Amino acid sequence: MVTWKRNCSSCCLLSYRSDHDETRKLNCSDRIMWKYSPGSDPVLRIYPVNLGDEGNYTCEITNSEGNFRFISSLTVIVPPTVTLTHDQSRVAACQASVGKPAADISWIPASNHSTEEEVHHPNGTVTRVSYLGWVNRTFPTVTCLVTHPATNQTLLIALT
């Protein structure tokens, strides 16, 4: 017998009983299934994964060798949407929207004159904006470098 369950009261339970070649699903969406045949490889598949799927999942296996329990923690990473704009006063704004975790933003050439704002959304994502006032005409362009576990992006903008 193999059982996958999420550690919460009304969450999905997915089980397979090999002696009857029987599978059961309780409170599971269509996105949660066996990746392969549960009799030969009882891997859990969640596709497409979303933020609500985060949490701890327990796999319990019972066979003639005994009872075994494995706990896996699922963390969902969301790549941010990145934009780079500027206004008439030569202030550049680099925005990394709704990422999880929050993206890091830096500027090239480096500057200690940037400021940042951060908004935490109820779903666990974060929007971070970095503003850079650029008045030095020696460098007519600036580059925004966004670093994130899901993606790294570099955007270039001319401030003329």
pTM of the shown model? 0.77
Cα–Cα distance measured from residue 16 to residue 42, given in angstroms and rounded to the nearest whole number: 8
Cis ω for the linkage preceding 109 (within 30 of 0): yes
CATH annotation of 2-74: 2.60.40.10
pLDDT digits (tens, 9 = 90+) for 32-41: 998 888 878 8
Instruction: Name the pLDDT band for 152 (thresholds 50, 70, 90).
Output: confident
The total of other beta-carbon atoms located within 10 Å of residue 97's CB is: 16
Q: Residue 157: is its pLDDT beyond 80?
A: no
**What mean pLDDT do residues 108-128 have?**
91
Contacts of 20 (CB under 8 A, 6+ apart): none
Domain with CATH 2.60.40.10 in the chain: 2-74, 81-158
Tell me the CATH number for domain 81-158.
2.60.40.10
